[in-house]
Chains A and B, each alone.
Chain A
């Protein structure tokens, strides 16, 4: 490629980069801006002391971690059971997964809201965690992955007299590590950012997660933009850290995921 074309290419790429990251840079910069200009940490001090961002951060972390761990475990067991056809009518259950992928959330949210009220779980950690203990995309991913693994290893284990649980968790699970890693990252990020369910199924500050807190704070008299942006940074940084740490897995996860469709 000739140098002019090459420079032109980089100019275009960089221009696009500015467009894509400018709003996020603006968020960071604003969060450190004082009321009378200058660089300050006051906005962060405010949201953690006067506002309850410590609590929201704790809630978001707690819920995302529990949901992630549960999904790794349950998506694994469910995906395995489907891949190895351990349940009669396995196809039926496989189809339920595909159907749920197509069902928009808004149609189930009102009954789920009423149900949570009925069983006394409205506005609790249970409401934030329970519906998401296992997710269809995760099961689908594990099922596809396990299907490509040879059965011979499991049979060898059986011949050696290993119990089913031992085979499952000592032989198959380690083999699934790549897919479970992608699954864990995706579940964590999705759950961390989720808004609709937490917003509708909780109401008090005690169970509020970061996205809900931020959405509710806009328009309040007692908070200004730099503070709001400081709160946004708190909500973005953990996901950003996960992304930077697992960049390769995330990118290959998305590209590979698409190919299976």
Chain B
């Protein structure tokens, strides 16, 4: 009886085993091997170069800028998205007529393809686009060439767009968290004379910690990989202002076919993401349960 079960178990799991080995495990190893070579698409002679690609990365201003931009992107968007999406969740959490419509509307950007969003905002941000005209109308002084063609505003504009896109999704995640908080806790707080603000601070927020951990970690990992927006809107320019890590990997690896160098860059970014995820887990878990 045992043996046929084990056999069918392997059979049932086979799709994952195959996909995992071919499309995740092998690439992860192969990518590291590539990063130690000077493999290029059209050149015939591929050699081991040891850690030379990694050394070259540390001296490549473009790569360092791409890391800095990625850091700005993550640090700038993740907290803002978290706060805004929590705010939206609190707004639509109550029972009031029409709340389904508001929830659906806020969620809409997150089901829209990033390519489409990037196209729309490319127009809205341009010199004669509506967002640009709006900025002028309310007395801001937007750059003459449009938001995306100025090195001062390009990255910021893409970050704002990203917050707009992601807020609705994380709103729903927070909403799920809010709905698991038992009413008795609020009742108890009210009896103890807590104001609404105190209730939020001492009941809602602590109860939302696991959800918040999820939101921050997932959003950070996603933000580290920002690519489509850059590809469609700015191609890394102007003046490298929007050159991000993954865009750097794409350009060196798949535009210039410098596979060894690009793989090394990919690995460095991977290690940074892994490190930060671990730190986030540690910090948020221990910091909160204490």
Residue-wise, chain A 238-261 has the 8 Å CB interface mask toward B (1 for contact) of 011001000100010011111101
**Is the pair A259, B177 in contact by a Cβ cutoff of 8 Å?**
yes
Residue A42 interfacial (CB < 8 Å):
no
Q: How far is the CB of A101 from chain B (nearest CB, A)?
A: 9
| Cβ contact within 8 Å between B16 and A139 | yes
| A131 close to B (CB within 8 Å) | yes
Residues of B within 8 Å of A77, CB to CB, are 12-13, 15
Q: How far is the CA of A80 from the CA of B16 in the complex (A)?
A: 12
Chain A stretch 83-127: residues in CB contact (< 8 A) with chain B: 84, 86-88, 93, 96-97, 100, 102-115
From B48-56, B114-122, B182-190, B198-206, give the one contacting chain A.
B114-122
Residue pair B28, A103 in contact (C-beta under 8 Å):
yes
Query: What bracket does the count of chain B residues touching chain A fall in?
Result: 35 or more
Chain B residues, Cβ within 8 Å of A239: 111-113
A155, CB-defined interface residue at 8 Å = no
Chain B residues 90-114 with CB under 8 Å of chain A are 91-92, 96, 100-109, 111-114
- Which one of A133, A243, A258 lies within 8 Å of B211 (CB-CB)? A258
Contact of B31 among A86, A111, A211 (CB under 8 A): A111
The secondary structure that dominates the A interface is: helix
Residues of A within 8 A of B288 (CB): none
Q: A100-B24, A107-B270, A189-B111 are in contact. Are A255 and B175 (CB under 8 A)?
A: yes
In the complex, which residues of chain A have a beta carbon less than 8 angstroms from the beta carbon of B146?
Answer: none
Judge if A41 is at the interface, Cβ distance under 8 Å.
Answer: no
In the complex, chain B residues whose CB is within 8 Å of the CB of A133: 15, 19
CB distance from A158 to the nearest CB of B (A): 9
From A100, A108, A192, B113 is in contact (CB under 8 Å) with A192
Contact mask for chain B residues 165-193; partner A; CB cutoff 8 A; 1 contact, 0 none = 00111001101110110000000000000
Instruction: Say which one of B72-80, B149-157, B260-268 lies at the interface with A.
Output: B260-268
B30 interfacial contact with A, CB 8 Å: yes
Q: Does B243 reach chain A (CB closer than 8 Å)?
A: no
Task: Say whether B176 contacts A131, CB under 8 Å.
Answer: no
Q: Number of A interface residues, CB 8 Å?
A: 79
Question: Which of A23-31, A32-40, A43-51, A173-181 forms contacts with chain B?
Answer: A23-31
CB of B239 closer than 8 Å to a CB of A: no
User: A214 contacts B116, CB within 8 Å?
Assistant: yes
Inter-subunit contact B105/A247 (CB<8 Å): no
Interface contact A251-B254, CB-CB below 8 Å: no
A195 within 8 A of B: yes
Whether A74 pairs with B112 at a CB distance below 8 angstroms is no
Within B240-271, the residues touching A (CB, 8 Å) are: 245-246, 249-250, 253-254, 259, 262-263, 266-267, 269-270
Contact of B105 among A12, A17, A81, A228 (CB under 8 A): A17
Chain A residues with Cβ below 8 Å from B246 are: 104, 106
Residues 202-261 of A contacting B (Cβ, < 8 Å): 210-212, 214-215, 218, 225, 228-229, 232, 235-236, 239-240, 243, 247, 251, 254-259, 261
Contact status of A93 and B16, CB under 8 A, knowing A111-B31, A195-B114, A255-B173: yes
- Asked if A187 is at the interface (CB within 8 A of a chain B CB), the reply is no
Q: Is A20 an interface residue (CB 8 A)?
A: yes
A78 at the interface (CB under 8 A from B): yes
Residues 37 to 64 of chain B near chain A (Cβ within 8 Å): none
Query: Are the CB atoms of B108 and A110 closer together than 8 Å?
Result: no
A100: B residues at CB distance < 8 A? 20, 24
Of all chain A residues, the one with the shortest Cβ separation from B24 is A100
| B88 lies within 8 A of chain A by Cβ | yes
- Contact status A81-B121, CB under 8 Å: no
Contact of A115 among B5, B6, B20, B27 (CB under 8 A): B27
CB of A16 closer than 8 Å to a CB of B: yes
Please pick, from A106, A111, A235, A257, the residue contacting B30 in the complex, using a CB distance under 8 A. Answer: A111
Cβ contact within 8 Å between A21 and B108 = yes
In the bound complex, what is the Cα–Cα distance between A193 and B7 (angstroms)? 37
How near does chain A come to B247, taking the closest CB pair, in angstroms?
9
Alpha-carbon distance between A23 and B36 when the two chains are bound, in angstroms: 45
Most buried by B among A109, A139, A257: A109
- Extra A-B contacts (12), CB below 8 Å, given A111-B28, A193-B114: A82-B13, A103-B24, A106-B269, A107-B28, A109-B254, A110-B253, A134-B15, A139-B16, A193-B111, A215-B119, A254-B172, A259-B211
Q: Which 6 A-B pairs have the closest CB atoms?
A: A255-B176, A86-B9, A108-B27, A111-B27, A193-B113, A81-B12
10 contacts between A and B (CB under 8 A): A16-B106, A77-B15, A93-B13, A93-B16, A102-B274, A106-B246, A136-B16, A218-B119, A254-B169, A258-B214
